[in-house]
Each structure stands twice: as structure tokens, then as C-alpha cells.
Amino acid sequence: MTEHTEPLVHHGPAQPGLNWGTELADQLRWHWENQARPRLEGLSDEEYFWEPVQGCWNVRPRGTGDAPIQAGSGDYTCDWAYPEPDPAPVTTIAWRLSHILCGVLGQRNAAHFGGPAADYESFEYPGNAAEALALLDEYYGRWISHVSALSEEDLARPVGPAEGGWAEAPMATLVLHIHRELIHQLAEVALLRDLYAHRDGAPAAGSVNSAAAREDAGA
């Protein structure tokens, strides 16, 4: 890649009163409302637990898994291992959403925004898609409302000991990291839904590809 050395071109003066908390929240909010959350509509339990290959990490009824670590305090446990195997196992939608609920949003809401305590060992992992999506909406709502209210001083303040070795990092760095994680993880969930819809080699009814196929066939 050729290194770009030209100076930035500024087209006008800095915009007064720019609210960086709002800007950071809007980055995720737009993606959530227009892409990520709509792709989760209609998620079935079969899709939620579907394993595209053998040896997937999943969320399972307690006592039925064989992963080195079966985390969770409720009726369902989440497959885990530490250190993570290389290559890491393929993960299901249930596993991805559970990771978001506990490790991405749950722990950060608890540490910074007054949410309930969350850690991988004691978390009660959802046993169906509807419960997982309800929790996701709740946890996302708490996160986005608090991020929207952060002032410049809040964003510059160190995140503190809850973030371990990153304790001195500014809150803005954590917000950007969580947003990257959510965009990435939810894109993986969307891909798994696409693979599930095409698992038998034909596009699901109502999909863009199936409509195109009907047109080609003169239907």
C-alpha cells in the first residue's frame, strides 16, 4: 500500500459545540438500527443453536457439553477453554450472542454504568433465541444511553481497575473498542444466519437470491 503523505485538506473552521459522546453513540446506533438489529429479526431456536461444522463451541443444557470449561450458573452453559485453542473452534449464534451479553456489554455495563454484575462463570446464559434477544436489547439500551451522555471530561477520564492492564486508558478508547467488538460480532452472527438459510444448497424462500432464481426461470 502506498503511503499517503499529502496534508489533510480542511474545508472550514472546526465545528463549535461538537459532542463526542453523541458522535460515538451515533456510530453504533446507526449500525444497530439499520443493519445489526434488523438482521436478528425472526431468529429461531434452531438457528440459535445450529452448528455449521463438527466441534463447534455452543451454549448447551447443563451437563451435556465436553468443552474444557463449561461456564455459567444456570440451566445452560457456554463452551470455553483457556488458553483458547489454535485454531479456535467455530462458534454458533448462541455462543456469539452470549459472548456479547456477558463479555462485551454485560461486564462493561456493570463496571461503568450501574448494570448487574456479569462474569463468564456466574452468568446465566440464555437457553433460547427470544431470551437472548430480549437481553441484548436491554444491555444495548443501557450502554448506548450512557455513552450518549458522556462529556468530553468523561471520555478523557481513565477507565480504572475494572479494565485490568488498560486501567489508565481513557473512556473513549473503551467505547471505541466495544463498538468495534459489537460491529464485528454481530456481523459474524449475520453471516451464520446466511449460512443457515443456504445450508441445503438452495436460497431460503423470500431471500434476494431465491427471487432472482424465480425470475430467471420465468416464474
In the chain the domains, ranked by start, together with CATH numbers, are 20-53+91-198 (1.20.120)
Q: Which one is predicted more confidently, 206 or 51?
A: 51
| Phi, psi (rounded to 5 degrees) for 86 | -130, 110
Residue 159 has a CB neighbour count (10 Å cut-off) of 21
3-state secondary structure of 170: strand
Least confident among 47-56, 71-80, 203-212: 203-212
> For the sheet containing 69-71, what is the strand order?
59-61, 76-80, 69-71
Per-residue model confidence (pLDDT) at position 207: 44
Q: What is the mean pLDDT of the chain?
A: 89
Q: pTM for this one?
A: 0.84
Across the range 164-182, mean pLDDT stands at: 97
Contact 109, 160 (CB under 8 A): no
Name the nearest CA neighbour of 176 among 34, 45, 25, 44: 25
